[in-house]
Amino acid sequence: MRGAHQWNALRALLLATCLCGTLPEARATTPSPAMGGLSPIDQLGVDVWDGPDGPGAGWVRDIAEDSRGFIWLATPNGLARFDGRRFRRFTAVDTPGLPHSGIRSLALARDGRLWVGLDHGGIRIMRGGVIEHPPEASAFPADTHAVQMVVDRHDVLWAATPQGLWRLAQGTAKQVRSGDIRSLALRGDVLWVRTRNDGLLRVEGDRISTHPDAPACKGAWVATSEAGSLYTSCAEGIWRWEAAGSRWERISDAIGVGPLHVDRNDEVWFGARDGLARWHRGRTEVRRGSMMLPDWRMRAFHRDSAGDLWLGTFSAGLVRLHDGVVRSIGAPEGLQIDGPSALLLGPGGDLFVGAFPGGLARWAWNRGVTGRWTQDTGLPGRGVWALAADPRRPQGFWVGGDEGLTWWEGDALRQRGPGGLAYRDPIRVLYVDPAQADTLWIGPPDGGVVEVRPQLARAHDTRHGLDVGVVRTFLRDRRGRLLVGGTRGAFVLGRNGWQPLLPPRHAVTGVSAIAEGEAGDLWLSSDFAGLVRIEGDDVRAYGTAQGLPFWPVHSLQLDNHGRLWMSGDDGLVNFLLTDHARWRRGEIDAIPMVQLGHRDGLRDIEINGWGSPDSLRLPDGTLAYPGSASVALVDVSHRDASRLEPGEVYIDRLWADARQLPPGRAMVLVPEERALRVEFSAIEKLRPESVIFRYQLEGLDPKWQPAGRSSEVVYPHLEPGTFRFRLQARLPGQDWVESAVSVPITVEPYFWETALFKGLVVAIAGLGLFALWRVRRRQDKRVARSLGKARAFLREVIDTSPNPIFVRRRDGDYAVVNRAAMDIPGLDPASQDPATAPANAAGPLQRLEAMDEEVLRTGEERSIPELAITDVRGRERWFRVVKRPGIGPDGDSVDHVIGSAVDVTSFKLAEVELLRNREVLRASREEARDLSRQLLHAQEDERRRLAAEMHDDLTQRLAGLAMLAWSTAATAPDPGAGESLQELAGELERLANDVQAMARELHPPALAGLGLLDALASECTNFSRRTGLAVAWRTELASVQVDEAVGIAIYRIVQEALRNALAHAGQCRVQVRVAACEGGFRVVIEDDGTGFDPAQRRQAASLGLSSMRERARLAGLALDIASTPGQGTRIAISCTGLSASPA
């Protein structure tokens, strides 16, 4: 990448002006934001690459940068090339020409070649990914290793070794000085040589001279600046040569210092035991290991073309220092505060930082902390959860804590603020309503919203339609609506009260922040849905699939440059709204996002926004965020000048199956090689995660194929042909940049895939088709003859069928009609017009035609079970007609209807006879039922007459004889005769009673006089008394209304059931009960006797059960007889359609 990323003095002073305090009573002083125009060393961003995805070794010995921007690293485990996105390693295992993997030093020639000093001796050249061994390298001793190499402007390589100084040029290698050479420094035509014990040497041309050395220096390193300053590191410190005074000046007493690096403005960098140190104009800054620096033992330095400083460490891999867009304020800057929770720009431009439990602090860039407030000085609790400024009263602001609300003004905290506003309950979110004076909106920790006005604190919760949960943010939008977001969603306060911001189908929970765009569109951050955008009825959610690098999002800010900023547990991220619009239009496959972290100067990665406000936009556009132990200030006006160039988008490696192909030239794949794999990347060291790719294999891919952030594409099988692989890359907010190199690829065919072979195949196929056509033509003639014979035979078979068979075409003509169908009017080809058919045949023919039309329309089979037709002989016949669809030549549409008719006349006549016999049988049965009913009525009438005569005549005469006998006995003179007469009188009385009982059995008088229920109750009582059988009577009804026939039938069935229980049930108990049922009542006779098998009794033709069923049937009653041997018998009589009154 190209472009400077270093903050200049003007930017630092602008930031200082923005945050500078005005209070004179500064409690602490901090360093100025710039040291001689340089950014403080603690403010530089840090990137570290180590481990499996790093350079391949923790010890980075040397660093070089080529003209394309690749960073080359020398490590004990091989040579590594870094483009900002990934490392490519070259080792002895996979790199021909590399004798072993240990690399000691590097130097870049003017023509782009890379000199490589080997660890165990020897020098090689890397050119285009290939290791070469030129003559001058061959002349260099194989047992000597170069600890450092430099190339002068004459393209001469100088190599420092433990055995001396070597000069390699024009195919030769010459030792120009012996001794233990530690390091080299080249400035113009002068080469400075640092020896271990022989002092400092100066080489110019062929002349070598000794330069005065630092006092008692056991040298380790030498370095020079563009201004001509000379520096050396010795065992006891670092020295600087003052040319004007011709003397050495010690600038640092750090011991054990190794390599030095001097920038163009005379900044001296070195690794000291306290950390990474920078000396400039008499002042030394140290960045300690606690400031994200993994190792202080620096083994290599390099300032790249973009202005970043690269460090090779002894054990922690590769480190880069970048002057990013973030400035962090924490302990090194004088802000000693733990757990910042809320930020506010207060009166005078000072930054107020609330913390839990650290209280409230005021900080100014040039003076540090200029004021602190705690619970002892009026703070509402141990810490600060929320800060809010009132635009109508810029002289103060509101402070919210666990114990309520206070007003800060003039360095004092008051429990009651302007307008008399006061609140004493815990606060988590605080919002000053810009639309209503003296109105605060508060989010308590237990959920809901509290509206605070003078002399009023009103709660808004689920009773008011607000089911927001714990509130996390407020916003008054441009339409004047109050928006609130919380754990259960987002709501809006309108004229009709609180309403959900989104319909149920788009409901979003865990809303932590709301931001409004210039066009009135809303952005919501959610713990569960990620980022959500609302524009009218269009609601869209964005997660990792759309490029969001972390989840959840805690805060949202829109800057003045068209970017949306988000904070989370993994730092900050932003994207251009124009890129979002391009993604919506389908121009790009993902939203390019830029993530800020340690690399950009962010000291605390976790920006979780657990207070209010959780982010702040300062008047100059700077964004402020509270971290875990510091405050981050983001200069959104400065954008790192990253821009891809065509030469930085490159195709790295290609494979044809398992064979690696050299990139940058035409590729030829032999017929056995059909799989193609391509690795590609881009040189982007600042925002590598923001680079997205797309590719196209011309000749195969019709359009550009998205690759996202992937660096590889595989074509599993390529057909023979000529192709060209093209690659494009893009950074956020920029256009697509195509690689300067595209790769032509030719896939050679097998012989059978060549045009010659295909032509021969076509010719042979043509001859074969012609021969096949001749054979087919002969076969068609034979088939036609056979088909004619088969048709004639089929016609004979059809004509022999006794059933009519016919085929009718779509135009209405009959194509086939057999002889049997000739008897049906209208099917005879000679009389196909239904209009000429007999009058009694017109109806059936119309049904057949309608049936044909339906089959042709639906394509489904239809049938008529019975169709009466008068044939040509005048006979009435019945047919079963079936019509099936016939498929036409196209194999899809219905072309004709195939019909068949089966003569069912005999069956029809038999059916008519059967129906006539059924009617005679039904009449006979009905006559039998009438006779049975008349017989029962006659029987009942005879019983009624006999019962009346027995009761009115015989019983009276027996009673009169009994009375006569009693009176005669009383007057008889003979005592013996008197006793006989008394005995005769008693017998006559018993006989009269028996006759009376018989009369009741013949016809119960209570049935007509008292009703069915009383008659049944009397019968149960009398039967139990006469027979000794235990009979229980129970009724749930007061009365029932039945006609005489029904009552007699029920009474007789109950009588028969009691007699059967007495005769067959053995010792048992009988219960007769009457209960209501749906539409009437039910009489149940149940015993617990021996029971019986109803099936066997039915086969034995039991007279009692048969009489019960017959009486029930004739009376229209439902009778159910259930019995099981050993479990008793249950007889139920159901009477429906009758009235019954409950008891």
Q: How far apart are CA 395 and CA 392, in angstroms?
A: 9
Q: Are 841 and 879 in contact (CB under 8 A)?
A: no
pLDDT band (50, 70, 90) for residue 191: very high
Q: Which residue has the higher pLDDT, 609 or 186?
A: 186
Based on DSSP, count helices (H) and strands (E) in the chain, helices before strands.
13, 78
Q: How far apart are CA 851 and CA 861, in angstroms?
A: 10
Q: How far apart are CA 236 and CA 233, in angstroms?
A: 8
Q: Which residue has the higher pLDDT, 47 or 951?
A: 47
pLDDT at 948: 61
Inter-CA distances, 877 with 418, 863, 883, 908, Å: 110, 17, 19, 9
- Phi/psi for 1042 (5° steps) reads -135, 155
Residue that is written with structure tokens 């290599």 in the block: 300
pLDDT at 940: 64
pLDDT, tens only, 651-692: 999 999 988 887 667 889 999 999 999 999 999 998 898 899
3-state secondary structure of 255: coil
Q: Is the pLDDT of residue 439 over 90?
A: yes
Q: Which of 498-502, 582-586, 796-800 has the lowest mean pLDDT?
A: 796-800
HSE-up (13 A, CA, CB side) for residue 92: 11
- Contacts for 858 with CB less than 8 Å, ≥ 6 apart: none
pLDDT at 679: 94
pLDDT band (50, 70, 90) for residue 32: very low
Please give the single-letter amino acid code of residue 464: H
What pairing do the DSSP bridges indicate for beta strands 571-576 and 594-596? Answer: antiparallel
- Contacts for 139 with CB less than 8 Å, ≥ 6 apart: 168, 171, 172, 173
R_g of the chain computed on alpha carbons:
57
Q: Which of 52-56, 404-408, 568-572, 819-823 has the lowest mean pLDDT?
A: 819-823
pLDDT at 919: 84
pLDDT band (50, 70, 90) for residue 277: very high
Q: How far apart are CA 522 and CA 518, in angstroms?
A: 9
First to last CA, the chain: 105
29-36, long-range: CB < 8 A, 24+ apart: 29/334, 29/366, 29/367, 29/368, 30/333, 30/334, 30/365, 30/366, 30/367, 30/368, 31/333, 32/366, 33/327, 33/365, 34/9, 35/280, 35/283, 35/285, 36/280, 36/281, 36/283
Helix axes 975-1002, 905-949, angle to 10 degrees: 150
pLDDT at 333: 85
pLDDT, tens only, 1069-1125: 999 999 888 878 899 999 988 888 877 766 555 667 877 888 888 778 888 888 888
pLDDT, tens only, 984-1022: 777 777 776 776 667 666 666 656 666 788 888 888 888
**What is the pLDDT of the chain when averaged over all its residues?**
85
| DSSP labels, 635-665 | -TT--------GGGEEEEEEEETTEEE-TTS
pLDDT band (50, 70, 90) for residue 881: confident
Helix axes 1012-1027, 975-1002, angle to 10 degrees: 140
pLDDT, tens only, 768-780: 999 999 999 998 8
pLDDT at 24: 28
Mean pLDDT of 728-755: 91
pLDDT, tens only, 504-559: 888 899 999 999 999 899 999 998 888 999 998 899 998 887 778 888 899 999 99
Q: How far apart are CA 131 and CA 401, in angstroms?
A: 67
Burial 213-242 (b: 16+ CB within 10 A, else e): bbeebebbbbbbbeeebbbbbbebbbbbbe
How many other CB atoms sit within 10 Å of the CB of residue 634?
Answer: 28
Burial 710-745 (b: 16+ CB within 10 A, else e): ebebebeebeeeebebbbbbbbbbeebbbbebebeb
| DSSP labels, 669-728 | E-TT---EEEEEEE--SSSGGG-EEEEEEETT-SS-EEEET--EEEES---SEEEEEEEE
Compute the C-alpha angle 614/620/625, nearest 5°: 20
Sheet of 511-516: strands edge to edge?
A: 511-516, 522-526, 530-535, 538-542
Sheet of 172-178: strands edge to edge?
A: 148-151, 157-161, 164-169, 172-178
pLDDT, tens only, 241-269: 987 778 999 999 998 899 999 998 889 99
Q: Is the pLDDT of residue 233 over 80?
A: yes
Mean pLDDT of 389-396: 92
pLDDT at 17: 37
Inter-CA distances, 231 with 149, 186, 279, 281, Å: 18, 12, 11, 13
Q: How far apart are CA 532 and CA 514, in angstroms?
A: 9
Mean pLDDT of 757-782: 91
Residue that is written with structure tokens 């490392």 in the block: 87
Backbone conformation region of residue 216, classed left if phi is above 0, alpha if psi is from -120 to 50, else beta: left
Please give the single-letter amino acid code of residue 887: I
Q: How far apart are CA 855 and CA 1022, in angstroms?
A: 77
Sign (positive/negative) of CA torsion 106, 109, 114, 119? negative
pLDDT, tens only, 785-827: 888 888 788 878 787 888 888 888 888 888 788 887 777 765 5
Mean pLDDT of 703-725: 93
- Contacts for 455 with CB less than 8 Å, ≥ 6 apart: 420
pLDDT, tens only, 118-146: 998 899 999 988 999 999 989 999 889 99
pLDDT band (50, 70, 90) for residue 207: very high
Range picked from 704-713, 841-850, 1129-1138 for highest mean pLDDT: 704-713
Q: Is the pLDDT of residue 448 over 90?
A: yes
Please give the single-letter amino acid code of residue 50: D
Q: Is the pLDDT of residue 3 over 60?
A: no
The percent of residues in the chain predicted with pLDDT above 90, rounded, is 45
Q: Are 735 and 692 in contact (CB under 8 A)?
A: no
Q: Which helix (H) or strand (E) holds 268?
A: strand 268-272
